Amino acid sequence: MEQTYEQREKILKSNLMVLAALEKETGKRIMLPSIDSWGDTCHVFDKKSLWALTAALTAERPLLLRGEPGSGKSQLARAAAEVLGRVFIYEVVHARSESRDLQYTYDTVSRLGEAQVLNAKPGLDSRTVEDILAHEHFLSPGPLWWAFDWKTAEEQYKKCNQGRQPTKPLDWTMEKGSVLLIDEIDKADADLPNGLLETLGNGRFTIPYRKEPVGLEDELPPPLVIITTNEERELPAAFTRRCLVYHLSLPKEEDLCKQWLIGRGKIHFTGELTDIIYETAAALLWKNRISALQSGLQPPGQAEYLDLLRAVKRCSLKQEEREKALGDFAEFTFEKNSPVI
More confident: 209 or 311: 311
Q: Are 38 and 183 in contact (CB under 8 A)?
A: no
First to last CA, the chain: 68
Q: Are 54 and 16 in contact (CB under 8 A)?
A: yes
Predicted confidence (pLDDT) at residue 336 exceeds the cutoff of 80: no
DSSP state of 221: P
65 membership: H or E segment, kind and range: strand 63-66
Residues 27, 161: Cα–Cα separation, whole Å: 42
The 3-state DSSP composition of the chain as helix, strand, coil percent (nearest 5) reads 50, 15, 35
**Residue ranges with strand state E in 144-223:** 178-183, 204-205, 214-215
What is residue 120's predicted lDDT score, i.e. its pLDDT?
Answer: 72
Quick one: which of 133, 223, 142 has its CA closest to 152? 142
What is residue 257's predicted lDDT score, i.e. its pLDDT?
Answer: 95
Q: Are 148 and 204 in contact (CB under 8 A)?
A: yes
Cβ-based neighbours of 99, under 8 Å, separated by 6 or more? 191, 192, 193, 194, 195, 196, 198, 199
- Largest Cα–Cα distance of the chain, in whole Å? 78
What is residue 338's predicted lDDT score, i.e. its pLDDT?
Answer: 64
229 membership: H or E segment, kind and range: strand 224-229
Angle at 271 between CA 267 and CA 272, to 5 degrees: 100
Report, as an integer, the average pLDDT of 157-166.
86
pLDDT, tens digit (0-9, with 9 covering 90-100), for 223-263: 999 999 998 889 999 999 999 999 998 899 999 999 999 99
